[in-house]
Amino acid sequence: MDKTSNNQNEKQNVGSSENQISIFSKRIKNLTEHLKSNKKDHNTRRGLMKLVGKRKKLLSYLKSKSNERYESIIKSLGLRR
């Protein structure tokens, strides 16, 4: 999945697991950058942890349903396993 097809696909099918994981990853990246400059923002840190948990659950669901799609999304987003 390259970035352009990913963005086009998000507009068409936002409910797919891959797109939800991609959206969560973007939000996690943004919140991480925010927390680097606002270390005492505990409410945002809590929201970040909730997002990480949701993404983890979606990744485990995707792995149980289709290992190929799981491997593809891991590689395209550069996530650790």
Residue 6 is predicted with a pLDDT of 58
Q: pTM of the predicted model, to two decimals?
A: 0.81
- The full 3-state SS of 11-73, as one line of letters, equals HHCCCCHHHHHHHHHHHHHHHHHHHHHCCCCHHHHHHHHHHHHHHHHHHHHHHHHCHHHHHHH
Domain boundaries, the chain: 17-77
Residue with tokens 């939800």: 20
Residue (of 53, 46, 48) closest to 61 by Cα position: 53
Q: Which CATH number fits domain 17-77: 1.10.150.20, 3.30.565.10, 1.10.730.10, 1.10.287.10?
A: 1.10.287.10
Largest CA distance in the chain: 40
- Structure confidence at residue 14 (pLDDT): 84
pLDDT tens, position by position, for the chain (81 residues)?
455 455 555 567 889 999 999 999 999 999 999 999 999 999 999 999 999 999 999 999 999 999 999 999 999 999 987
Residue 46, both tokens: 């809590």
The pLDDT of residue 8 is: 58
